Amino acid sequence: WQKREISNFDYLMYLNTLAGRSYNDYMQYPVFPWVLADYHSETLNLTNPHTFRDLSKPMGAQTMERKRKFIQRYNEVEKSEGDLSAQCHYCTHYSSAIIVASYLVRLEPFTQTFCSLQGGSFDVADRMFHSVKSTWESASRDNMSDVRELIPEFFYLPEFLTNANHFELGCMQDGTVLGDVQLPPWADGDPHKFILLHRQALESDYVSAHLHRWIDLIFGHKQHGSAAVEAVNTYHPYFYGDKMDLNKIKDPLIKSTILGFISNFGQIPKQV
């Protein structure tokens, strides 16, 4: 990878596989980074550093204001509850079964998976994945319970962005009927162009030079411990499945609660 003999995409898939993540498990689906921060320009400039997301920071620290709030949350838990095991920056995860299914909801079998996870129906239209730009703004800036990253399909599968099956996904409060995913202006409404440019962004010189910083956060030494605290990158203890010895938990109710938490809200990848 350092010699540019394999692509960034292939390297990320390799790391996901090493960390125990695969397409066969929605709860441990391959996780990929948001690489762009520009979803409003008419043309995409891949030579401008400001076009890109800060790969050295998790989604919860993409703005100074958001980072400050998550640090405040981390410190307040210590003061108010005194239980350091529950001290974390994020109580939600960047990858989970519902996040994967929500991205791919326009394609079967993910449509049925999403509905089953939602109790048998689609979610409220305003909460459905309907716009790349608004999803980025939610995950990077606006929503304190949303720190989601992306999935590999964002870099090779245009079909998941179109409602070819004509599912009735509902109507948003502003009157917008949900159909195809709304794309950034630079994609000209063409899912194939979006995927092409998005893949070019992933393989760009800027991302190639900074991708290792994101890898440190997700798969490497900033995943947990003091380095994670310093990087504003700690998650609820239940997300660290391989760090918990469920065999030591005798109470079946507590054990089932933890297992349910992990299966619904996500798992930290195995450290590579």
pLDDT along the chain (272 residues), means of 10: 95 97 94 98 97 98 96 81 69 93 96 92 91 97 96 98 95 92 98 98 97 98 94 90 68 75 80 91
**Residues 268, 86: Cα–Cα separation, whole Å:** 16
On whether residue 229 sits in a domain, the answer given is yes
On whether residue 2 sits in a domain, the answer given is no
Query: What confidence score (pLDDT) does residue 212 get?
Result: 97
On whether residue 76 sits in a domain, the answer given is yes
Residue 21 lies in domain: 8-265
Query: What confidence score (pLDDT) does residue 144 get?
Result: 94
Between the alpha carbon of residue 220 and those of residues 58, 128, 182, 215, the distances in Å are 13, 31, 34, 6
On whether residue 3 sits in a domain, the answer given is no
Query: What confidence score (pLDDT) does residue 257 get?
Result: 75
- Which residues neighbour 247 within 8 Å (Cβ) at sequence distance 6 or greater? none
Query: What confidence score (pLDDT) does residue 76 get?
Result: 86
Query: What confidence score (pLDDT) does residue 85 get?
Result: 55
Query: What confidence score (pLDDT) does residue 86 get?
Result: 74
The answer to whether 67 and 147 are in contact (CB under 8 A) is no
Query: What confidence score (pLDDT) does residue 165 get?
Result: 95
Query: What confidence score (pLDDT) does residue 167 get?
Result: 94
The tokens of 245 are what? 């010895």
On whether residue 133 sits in a domain, the answer given is yes
- The CATH number of whichever domain residue 181 belongs to comes to 1.10.1540.10
User: Would you give the end-to-end CA distance of the chain in angstroms?
Assistant: 16
The CA-based angle 108-40-172, given to 5 degrees, is 50
Query: What confidence score (pLDDT) does residue 266 get?
Result: 81
Element (H, E) at 69: helix 64-80
The CA-based angle 257-258-260, given to 5 degrees, is 65
Query: What confidence score (pLDDT) does residue 245 get?
Result: 66
On whether residue 1 sits in a domain, the answer given is no
162 DSSP assignment:
S
Number of domains in the chain: 1
Query: What confidence score (pLDDT) does residue 259 get?
Result: 73
On whether residue 112 sits in a domain, the answer given is yes
On whether residue 132 sits in a domain, the answer given is yes
